[in-house]
Amino acid sequence: MKRFIFIGLVVVSILSVLAFAMPSNLVAAAAETPSPTPEPAVTGEPHEISGAPQIIHDQVSKTWGPKKQILDGDTMYQGRYERPFDQEMLYFPGADISLAALYRPGDGWIYTKLRLTQQPKADDKTNYVIELDLDRDGRGDTLIMTSLPAGNKWATGTVSVWEDKNKDVETGDVNSPNKGDGYETKYTEDPEMAFARLSPDNPQDVQIAFKQAYIGGSKGMFLWRVWTVFNTWESTKIPPEDQYTLQEAGVPYYLNADYPLKAVYGMDNTCRAPSGYEIYGQTRIKGSCVVPAAPVH
């Protein structure tokens, strides 16, 4: 009997030590980790933009563009485009991106800014787009798009949001385009999810704001880049390497055998940058910025 009592005491002691070392939620099932406090719902219009932006600089073609060519910045194999030209190779500086900025001030909205080389105008016939890669796999999931906003007050009238529900975006490449349907589904759950305006401070800026709840809240992580796309294009079918070969698309390099632009014209984009996390060194994400886009203070 004493032996059984001794063994029982040893077992109880071991269990006590293990219980002390274990996380409390394993010792007592009732002690569950509390759920994170939900972020308050955002209503009404976006606010004035504040805080330090994340900046992506882009190739500008204002010197060589009037000569119907570019020097750098267009690599279709990498999903990078520098084609602010029409089919006659006429240069449109109002569609030529010089920089993009993203702000996350913590007020329930995420703000983006597209700065064009020249003040945009209706004659540019351009859509202004932010592309979101929500699962960070190097393939876009959502486009938030606006035509030229009517003024410098936040409004939804020019904005539409499109999603790739069937996951066919960027599943091909320039050598074997997949001919998919792009961002085929219009987002309609919240008609006030995204707003746009012309900047009240800089006439060269188009600004887009969207609710941060869409990307998972204040701690959401995603990849982003911006585009300008002529509205003569079916803008929801970007990127063009899903639709055309390089020979079909043409190139803006004067000495290249595939010059001039053919099927793919009237567009510009930036590289992809991470938001909510950082990418260090080399990455397999197509079109990524070479270095993380750093905050500017």
State the pLDDT at residue 38. 65
How many helical (H) and strand (E) elements, i.e. helices and strands, does the chain have?
3, 13
Work out the percent of the chain whose per-residue pLDDT is above 70. 84
State the pLDDT at residue 233. 83
Nearest Cα neighbor of 268 from 111, 63, 53, 60 is: 60
pTM of the model: 0.84
pLDDT in tens, 229-268: 999 888 899 999 999 999 999 999 999 999 999 999 999 9
Q: Do 143 and 161 touch, CB atoms closer than 8 A?
A: yes
Mean pLDDT of the chain: 87
pLDDT in tens, 60-80: 999 999 999 999 999 999 999
Nearest Cα neighbor of 117 from 90, 150, 95, 146 is: 95
Q: Give the separation between CA 243 and CA 263, rounded to whole angstroms.
A: 10
Q: Residue 9 pLDDT more than 70?
A: no
Higher pLDDT, 191 or 38: 191
Q: Do 73 and 59 touch, CB atoms closer than 8 A?
A: yes
Q: Residue 284 pLDDT more than 50?
A: yes
Q: What are the start-end ranges of the E strands in 118-250?
A: 126-133, 142-146, 159-163, 185-186, 194-198, 205-211, 222-230
Higher pLDDT, 155 or 13: 155
The residue ranges of every structural domain in the chain are 54-275
Q: How confident is the model at residue 295 (pLDDT cuts 50, 70, 90)?
A: low
Q: Residue 27 pLDDT more than 90?
A: no
State the pLDDT at residue 282. 59
Question: What is the pLDDT averaged over residues 265-287?
Answer: 88
State the pLDDT at residue 291. 63
Q: How confident is the model at residue 42 (pLDDT cuts 50, 70, 90)?
A: confident
Question: What is the pLDDT averaged over residues 106-115?
Answer: 97
Q: How confident is the model at residue 39 (pLDDT cuts 50, 70, 90)?
A: confident
State the pLDDT at residue 6. 44
Q: Give the separation between CA 221 and CA 174, rounded to whole angstroms.
A: 28
Q: Which residue has the tokens 């071991």?
A: 14
**Which tokens in the block code for residue 54?**
């994340």
Question: What is the pLDDT averaged over residues 291-296?
Answer: 52
